[in-house]
Chain A
Amino acid sequence: MARLELQNIGFAYETAHWVFEDVSFSVEANETVGIIGANGAGKSTLLKLIVGLEMVNRGTIRMDGEPLTTKTLASIRRKEGYVFQDAESQLFMGTVYEDVAFAPENYGVDRESVEEQVKKALELTGISHLRDRHIYKLSGGEKKLASIATILSTEPEMILMDEPSVALDPCNRDKLIRVINGLPGMKLLASHDLDFIYDTCQRTLVLGKGGIVYDGPTEQVLKDRAFLEQYGLRLPLSFRFAVGRDCK
């Protein structure tokens, strides 16, 4: 089963502007980890490094002990499913069906199994009725759900989502939380929606300048108003208005 390990990662888009200077952490299979931080803290960048869309300048990323290099990229990506921050660029085929079927087809799954996997993914995300709709004609939230379905159809061992709850109405957001909690495997969720993180992740990483400033239980950090505010975040609503919950 998948285990992700980052060792002393350093990364910069432009020389001398380190997004990460020295980041290390590991995630076990079946763990769900939230990644939070202010705008520009590097949440999307961290996910991109893990799927190999950007390559680290220093350190190593290992998946199941295998280091992520250009050689191992294809086999590692096969295990990963990555949902983009902006659904618009994730979807590119004509219809929802074609888009969701894209990955399994490329992985050489036979036609009948593709149909089945697509059906399952669409049911999970609750968009079976959009199966033959054109991508261009979907609403923002529907696009988001479709882009999540596109990665569920390959049943990845590891799921990475960048702002999954953005653009979803409360009902679909709750549904997504149930879907995520019901999925097996490792999950990394980057989000500003701290309530969403609270409802899905046991463990949370907080990104500050240059790296990780907190790595531990979600509940503990989300209650800590002073700490959150120091890193450009606010108490989640569940704690702000909760009576009897002791916030610092």
Chain B
Amino acid sequence: MKRNMAKHSTGKMDHAIREIHHVDREKGSCSRSNELHPLAKLSVTILYMLFVVSVENYHPVGLLYLLVYPLAMMILYDISFIRCMKRLKVVFFFVFCMGIANPIFNRIPVLNFWGITLTAGMLSMITLWMKALLTVLAGYILMEMTTMDQICYGLRCLHVPAGFVVLLSLIYRYLILFLKETDRMMKAYQLRAPGQKGVHFRVWGSLLGNLLLRTMDQGQRVYESMILRGFRGEYYLHTGRVSKRDSYLFVGIWMGIFVILKLFPIVYR
């Protein structure tokens, strides 16, 4: 039983690694989203985020319309809503904690809904939640459709400074290494401490220290491997099947929808 629990926790780690790679894998092979230029996907995402952020602070209803983007994308590109919720639950928890204090500080009543008084604080809390939720969703959808390298390629197309982009991709690689290394160490530990639940607190220090050192070492070597193979902060387009027409259409249609939603805020005025 105890051993099973130990097995379970390394299983979790392994799952995390597979998950983070899996994200990459899917885009590599299947899905139509491959035919879109990474820059198209990236710019629509950024544009969408800008639209979300620009909605006024006390208009949660105005944000409802913007739900159209994540929903449509999930349906169009076969992105599982349930899996998304499962993966992002931690993020959602943080989002939830974020605005929770607003209603306490701002108690000016603004609306009366069938006897329930809504304060400005409540409204701003709900708006904040929704904004965070929508931007996170948009980011998730982008990650689901594009590999990290292709996102970096898109960022470079947008003239984001090379240093920043390289840093981003290195952090991502470092995260993978960190997970792999943790997985390996936990397995090694559990093989030599069978029947133990979790990790004994006395070895936490050395385990963690070792983990950091080993990941840093590995990170250094990966970086060296990149440098030795001519890496100078540039990224390249991988998929050979990019359709220019579809990419332009994709950007054009979404931009049109966003602008219409912005210009004609039908209900919430």
Q: Which residues of A contact B (CB under 8 A)?
A: 51, 53, 77-78, 80, 82, 84, 86, 88-95, 98, 101-103, 105-107, 111, 115, 132, 134, 136, 150-151, 154
Q: Would you call B226 and A92 a contact (CB within 8 A)? A: yes
Whole-angstrom CA separation of A190 from B121 in the bound complex: 68
Whole-angstrom CA separation of A103 from B225 in the bound complex: 10
A84 in contact with B24 given A92-B173, A98-B149 (CB within 8 Å): no
> Which partner residue on chain B sits nearest A91 by CB separation?
B225
Q: Would you call B230 and A103 a contact (CB within 8 A)? A: yes
Contact digits for B147-188, partner A, Cβ 8 Å, 1 yes 0 no:
101000000000000000000000001000000000000000
Could you list 29 examples of A-B contacts with CB < 8 Å? A53-B224, A53-B228, A77-B227, A77-B230, A84-B225, A88-B218, A90-B225, A92-B173, A93-B149, A94-B21, A94-B28, A94-B147, A94-B149, A98-B149, A98-B238, A102-B226, A105-B236, A106-B231, A106-B232, A106-B236, A107-B230, A115-B240, A134-B21, A134-B24, A134-B28, A136-B18, A136-B21, A150-B229, A154-B230
Residue B3 is within 8 A (CB to CB) of chain A in the complex: no
Q: Which residues of B contact A (CB under 8 A)?
A: 17-18, 21, 24-25, 28-29, 147, 149, 173, 218, 221-222, 224-232, 234, 236, 238, 240
Interface SS majority for chain B: helix
Residues of A within 8 A of B149 (CB): 93-94, 98
Whole-angstrom CA separation of A107 from B229 in the bound complex: 8
Whole-angstrom CA separation of A103 from B230 in the bound complex: 6
Q: Would you call B218 and A94 a contact (CB within 8 A)? A: no
Whole-angstrom CA separation of A150 from B230 in the bound complex: 12
Residues of B within 8 A of A77 (CB): 227-228, 230
Q: Would you call B221 and A84 a contact (CB within 8 A)? A: yes
Q: Would you call A78 and B230 a contact (CB within 8 A)? A: yes
Whole-angstrom CA separation of A136 from B183 in the bound complex: 13
Whole-angstrom CA separation of A98 from B236 in the bound complex: 10
Selected contact of B222 from candidates A92, A103, A115, CB within 8 Å: A92
> Which partner residue on chain B sits nearest A51 by CB separation?
B228
